[in-house]
Structure 1
């Protein structure tokens, strides 16, 4: 088996110079050796690099990722006319190693959802995103290779989260009694409804939201994880990224009713419990548990909808 080469600044600079030439565009700050390049995030083998001031070079680490990235290039063109936020445009693409895709994308101006809080107008931007995703023709997305994924069982997730809550209680991280509102009957009641599958971004993390200093959501990254499935998953992702109240307000503005909003809320809360428990149980060299703690806090922010909705009743609209 051929070993995948380790990307270095020199190899990335040569790739970027070649792709910029093919794309017919300058890359911002350049030296005689080529454009300035640097990893987007620290790592032993960084796969995403800033190229000058206007571009981003993404290197697929394996063949499976290459398939997803090729699909993403076509999917973004399908989604772009239907959403009010920007999506990256690909200047050029090729292979950086045999069978491994590299793509040079435009860089969207702004910070991330981790750096800037989303404003009320930004919530409207998110509502437009959710509305637009619902308008994408599902059959057309599947023709591009977007996989269809079955909805998760909220009851099964609730049981796993209850175990995680117990471990977090022992570490003085969480009051497990807060999970009691999601009873087994309520979890069943909030099951995904048949015939509600839409295009789901499936990775609406703070790092994938491009947010300006005034709180507007200017763009969305990370489309290679998209699936056809449960829209509550994107509501859950937003609850972890921008907080439960903002996520539910955005989903409500997008036309979603109480059921998918509450389902998304509880998916996020259960996921947050499980992820923080896993982070605390990891080795001492594991990443800091601070991000999982932040996501837990955001997901468990109270919302008005759960105060006025009786999960013990016969029906959630």
Structure 2
């Protein structure tokens, strides 16, 4: 198997110079620099108006091709911006690239989401539910089954013990999620929708006034459990804001609480893995996500869930 080339500034510069020719005799081309420091750079800022994403392997290239088609499918259904590609192709044999227009704004890690921003997130969740599942699957979007909340709860309990031993327990109160409650919050049959599956703070483009203007990172989108996106928002903007947005989108108590506890268990497990040296994310970010996911919400006072108290969405 041929070794894929390592993306370098010279490779990127030559590529973007060929893509952004405007007739001017500018041999230097726009400034290029990696978005993230350290590691093998796959995402580059190109001047002040574009971002270049390079697929480092064939699996990522396949997902990037699918993402370009998926963004066109999603765009009419959601009220926030979806990245637009101004050029795409191969930067090396079998390895794709997309040159996207940079969205104005910062991330949810920089700006707080306002009440109007929560309405934007509600519109996003509503729009994802309205995307026809069959059309998404025809593009190659995979279908995934819902995770076992009871299995995750048991895993999180062990992780919580490691956090306590390291004096990292923070707000963790896993006893609030009993085995019976975990079973009660199982995903309901027929509730699969299009799920972004990557609603992290860095993927939410937020303006200085707290509005959510766009959503990045569509390569991991699946057809599956909508509670996963509620969980992602809980880690990104806090549980109260996530639940308010999901409620505005028409989701009832069960998927909201399920998303809440998926987020809480995930943050406990991921922080414990990072402390053990087996996780990849930074400790400050994981601690922040844990704090956000464990913010208390009024809905937690609900003690009984009935089959008709939720609007889980459904397939179309």
For residues 3-14 of structure 1, what are the structure 2 equivalents within 5 Å?
Answer: 3-14=3-14
Cα distance, 1:175 vs structure 2: 6.2
CA distance in 2: counterparts of 1:278 and 1:251, whole angstroms = 29
1:72–1:288 distance in 2 versus 1, CA, 3 Å? closer
Cα distance, 1:94 vs structure 2: 1.2
CA distance in 1: counterparts of 2:113 and 2:56, whole angstroms = 32
Q: Check whether the contact 2:171–2:291 (CA below 8 A) recurs between aligned residues.
A: no
TM-score, with structure 1 as normaliser: 0.93
State whether structure 2 residue 283 is matched by structure 1 residue 293: no
Bigger drift between 8-17 and 31-40 goes to: 31-40
**Pairing partner for 1:180 from 161, 175, 178:** 175
Question: Which residue in the other structure is 1:163 paired with?
Answer: 158
For residues 273-312 of structure 1, what are the structure 2 equivalents within 5 Å?
Answer: 273-282=268-277, 288-307=282-301, 309-310=302-303
Q: State the secondary structure of the residue aligned to 1:261.
A: helix
CA distance in 2: counterparts of 1:25 and 1:279, whole angstroms = 50
CA distance in 2: counterparts of 1:86 and 1:176, whole angstroms = 35
CA distance in 2: counterparts of 1:252 and 1:115, whole angstroms = 25
Question: Which residue in the other structure is 1:131 paired with?
Answer: 126
Cα distance, 1:316 vs structure 2: 7.9
CA distance in 1: counterparts of 2:306 and 2:133, whole angstroms = 31
Q: Check whether the contact 1:165–1:175 (CA below 8 A) recurs between aligned residues.
A: no
Ranges in structure 2 where 5+ consecutive residues have no aligned partner? 310-316
Q: State the secondary structure of the residue aligned to 1:223.
A: coil
CA distance in 1: counterparts of 2:118 and 2:32, whole angstroms = 34
Cα distance, 1:288 vs structure 2: 3.6
Q: How many residues align?
A: 309
Q: Check whether the contact 1:162–1:176 (CA below 8 A) recurs between aligned residues.
A: no
1:224–1:288 distance in 2 versus 1, CA, 3 Å? closer
Q: State the secondary structure of the residue aligned to 1:35.
A: coil
Q: Check whether the contact 1:165–1:176 (CA below 8 A) recurs between aligned residues.
A: no
RMSD across aligned positions (CA): 1.9
CA distance in 2: counterparts of 1:74 and 1:80, whole angstroms = 10
Q: Structure 1 runs of 4+ off > 3 angstroms? A: 285-288, 313-316
**Pairing partner for 1:73 from 58, 68, 75:** 68
Q: Check whether the contact 1:153–1:191 (CA below 8 A) recurs between aligned residues.
A: yes
